[in-house]
């Protein structure tokens, strides 16, 4: 028989690109293995720092899990407490009262975490989510319009797969964007309709840009189905102002677009007085707009950073019941979201309140994480901006910086000579020399001739870390020359 080859596969699969865990991340993994072997590794660094992915609890980073999450969200600890009374008797003081109560409440609703739950998510937890949304926005939320998911990605992928009718459906996506969107569109034969964010004004979103994309002759045959907004931005960290949000809602009304609001970084605000987060749900409700809205949230970001549990949710607004029934049918094929992720959602949307035994520690831990993230983000952007040939927007939100690197013609030629995008070449050299893994801007999209990279603000020991970035950049410029500004 013939051996299986890529020619036997769906060509759409070949088109999928996801740089966050692409070539550089794979090479970083190889370096990590080499270092783990110990002995003479012949590398100019002794550890890998994965700044390519917002993974707060990864080894070597300085963000510990929130104690309340781990106590309250520990489904199996609940099981342990219920199944082995001996344990509770032996360790009566190991858990705060509110944690034991929460665990008991969840266990009574869920039963065994080894059982499938309702495909849409445990009803009690969807009620907690609805209450969280109501308190956040001041408008009602319906648990039956909320779907718990295995992280936000699973929800985004599902909604895009449902909205795309090959071959002529398009979805408006920001550039730069989180590559989940282009990857999912490629997989489902959808057409990305890119609109550029404005770096000069802190990566702001321009209605004019979006209208231009819609009117572009290249898109004449494409039916636009949805508008993707990432707020706070990824990779940009930008936050939308309410006036722009209202205009975007009107634009969706005008063009019959579903608004896909990726709001997973809503709790990662570094300067909330200056740049607050306002949910699209609140804006749509206040405007009484009829636009179909899907808001995605996750337990992987914020201060919980519980990535490995795979938990999140999406809320649908202005979706008719027959489409909700179709979404239910689609999620039921996958049976249910992971229970440990669902329980994580309950803890994120129902944190301890003042007066609860675990509140003081929770408050202290979360304040510490917020403060550390804000100060690291400022330190990193200040120091990167001070470097020749680098300009960096000081992100008001999310977990990332997206510095622009001005590369010389020599650097660009050197990159092309080895068949790489110039920013990928820069990032590959950074990894090879420092062990720091970032994601080249070409993985998120950028204007012709502009070069960026995305790095997380989750590094350990920020000073040594930025020292390494600086020293590398100066060496790179010494070798390839500075770009003409």
Residues 222-261 that bind a second copy (CB under 8 A): 225, 252-254, 256, 258
CB of 38 to a second copy, least distance (A): 15
Among 73, 177, 213, 456, binds a second copy (CB under 8 A): 73
When the beta carbons of 275 and 281 are compared against a second copy, the nearer one is: 281
When the beta carbons of 161 and 379 are compared against a second copy, the nearer one is: 161
Residues 281-320 that bind a second copy (CB under 8 A): 290-292, 300, 304-310, 318-320
Q: φ and ψ at 396, to 5 degrees?
A: -80, -5
Map residue 95 onto helix, strand or coil. Answer: coil
Question: How far apart are alpha carbons 67 and 364 in whole angstroms?
Answer: 11
Confirm if 259 and 229 have CB atoms less than 8 A apart: yes
The reply to whether 408 sits near a second copy by the rule CB under 8 A is no
Among 30, 47, 216, 332, binds a second copy (CB under 8 A): 332
CB of 205 to a second copy, least distance (A): 20
When the beta carbons of 323 and 371 are compared against a second copy, the nearer one is: 323
Q: Based on DSSP, count helices (H) and strands (E) in the chain, helices before strands.
A: 18, 14
Map residue 422 onto helix, strand or coil. Answer: helix
The full DSSP string for 13-76 is HHH---GGGSHHHHHHHHHHHHHHT-S----S-S--EETTS--TTSTT-S-PPPHHHHHHT-HH
Among 28, 261, 264, 339, binds a second copy (CB under 8 A): 339
Among 11, 138, 276, 460, binds a second copy (CB under 8 A): 11
Interior angle at CA 93, CA 87 and CA 98, nearest 5? 100
Residues 146-205 that bind a second copy (CB under 8 A): 150-151, 153-154, 157, 161-166, 169, 180, 183-184, 187-189
When the beta carbons of 405 and 431 are compared against a second copy, the nearer one is: 431
Q: Name the segment binding a second copy (CB under 8 A); options: 4-12, 353-361, 425-433, 472-480.
A: 4-12
Q: How many CA atoms lie within 13 A of 214 on its CB side?
A: 18
The full DSSP string for 272-327 is TTTS----HHHHHHHHT----EEEEEESSSTTT--GGG--EEEEEES--HHHHHHH
Site string for a second copy, 77-116 (x = CB under 8 A): x-xx--xx-xx--xx-xx---------------xxxxxxx
Q: Name the segment binding a second copy (CB under 8 A); options: 9-17, 141-149, 364-372, 434-442.
A: 9-17
Could you tell me the two tokens for 286?
Answer: 């206040």
Q: Name the segment binding a second copy (CB under 8 A); options: 37-45, 72-80, 211-219, 421-429.
A: 72-80
Q: Provide the b/e sequence for 331-366 (b: ≥16 CB within 10 Å).
A: beeeebbbbbbbbbbbbbbbbbeeebebbeebeebb
Site string for a second copy, 111-130 (x = CB under 8 A): xxxxxxxxx-----------
Confirm if 178 and 158 have CB atoms less than 8 A apart: no
Question: How far apart are alpha carbons 74 and 267 in whole angstroms?
Answer: 22
Other C-beta atoms closer than 10 Å to the C-beta of 379 total: 15
Cis, bond preceding 235 (omega within 30 deg of 0): yes
When the beta carbons of 85 and 388 are compared against a second copy, the nearer one is: 85
Interior angle at CA 76, CA 72 and CA 81, nearest 5? 80
The reply to whether 394 sits near a second copy by the rule CB under 8 A is no
Question: How far apart are alpha carbons 89 and 14 in whole angstroms?
Answer: 56
CB of 432 to a second copy, least distance (A): 21
CB of 147 to a second copy, least distance (A): 14
Residues 46-65 that bind a second copy (CB under 8 A): 53, 55-59, 64-65
- What CA–CA distances, in Å, run from 117 to 284, 343, 484? 31, 11, 59
The reply to whether 386 sits near a second copy by the rule CB under 8 A is no
The reply to whether 323 sits near a second copy by the rule CB under 8 A is yes
CB of 256 to a second copy, least distance (A): 5
Determine the size of the site formed for a second copy (CB under 8 A): 109
The reply to whether 29 sits near a second copy by the rule CB under 8 A is yes
Residues 410-439 that bind a second copy (CB under 8 A): none
């Amino acid at each position: 028989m013939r051996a299986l080859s890529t020619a036997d596969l769906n060509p759409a699969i070949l088109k999928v690109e996801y740089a966050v865990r692409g070539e550089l991340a794979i090479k970083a993994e190889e370096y990590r293995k080499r270092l783990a072997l110990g002995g003479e590794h012949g590398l100019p660094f002794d550890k890998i720092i994965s700044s390519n992915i917002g993974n707060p609890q990864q080894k070597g980073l300085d963000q510990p899990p929130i104690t309340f999450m781990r106590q309250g969200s520990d489904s199996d600890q609940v099981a342990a407490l219920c199944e082995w009374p001996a344990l509770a008797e032996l360790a009566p003081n190991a858990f705060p009262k509110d944690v034991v109560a929460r665990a008991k409440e969840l266990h009574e609703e869920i039963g065994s975490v080894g059982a499938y739950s309702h495909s849409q998510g445990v009803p009690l937890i969807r009620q907690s989510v609805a209450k969280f949304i109501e308190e956040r926005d001041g408008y009602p939320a319906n648990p039956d319009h909320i779907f718990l998911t295995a992280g936000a990605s699973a929800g985004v992928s599902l909604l895009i797969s449902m909205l795309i009718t090959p071959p002529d459906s398009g979805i408006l996506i920001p550039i730069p964007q989180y590559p989940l969107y282009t990857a999912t569109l490629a997989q489902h034969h959808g057409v990305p309709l890119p609109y550029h964010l404005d770096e000069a004004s802190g990566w702001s979103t321009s209605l004019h840009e979006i209208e231009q994309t819609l009117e572009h002759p290249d898109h004449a045959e494409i039916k636009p189905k949805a508008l993707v907004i990432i707020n706070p931005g990824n990779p940009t960290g930008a936050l939308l102002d309410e006036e722009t949000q209202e205009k975007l809602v009107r634009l969706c009304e005008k063009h019959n677009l579903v608004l896909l609001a990726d709001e997973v970084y809503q709790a990662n605000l570094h300067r909330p007085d200056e740049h607050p987060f306002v949910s699209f749900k609140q804006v749509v409700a206040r405007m009484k707009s009829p636009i179909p809205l899907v808001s995605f949230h996750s337990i992987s970001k914020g201060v919980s950073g519980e990535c490995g549990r795979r938990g999140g949710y999406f809320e649908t607004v202005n979706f008719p019941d027959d489409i909700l029934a179709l979404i239910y049918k689609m999620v039921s094929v996958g049976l249910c979201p992971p229970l440990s992720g669902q329980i994580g959602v309950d803890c994120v949307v129902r944190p301890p309140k003042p007066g609860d035994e675990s509140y003081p520690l929770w408050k202290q831990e979360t304040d510490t994480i917020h403060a550390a993230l804000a100060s690291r983000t400022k330190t990193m952007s200040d120091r990167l901006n001070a470097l020749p040939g680098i300009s960096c927007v000081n992100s008001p939100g999310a977990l990332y910086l997206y510095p622009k690197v001005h590369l010389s013609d020599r650097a660009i030629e050197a990159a092309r000579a080895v068949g790489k995008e110039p920013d990928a070449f820069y990032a590959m050299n950074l990894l090879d020399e420092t062990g720091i893994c970032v994601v080249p801007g070409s993985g998120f999209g950028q204007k012709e001739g502009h070069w960026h990279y995305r790095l997380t603000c989750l590094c350990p020991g920020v000073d040594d870390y930025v020292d390494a970035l600086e020293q590398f950049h100066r060496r790179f410029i010494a070798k390839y020359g500075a770009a003409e500004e």
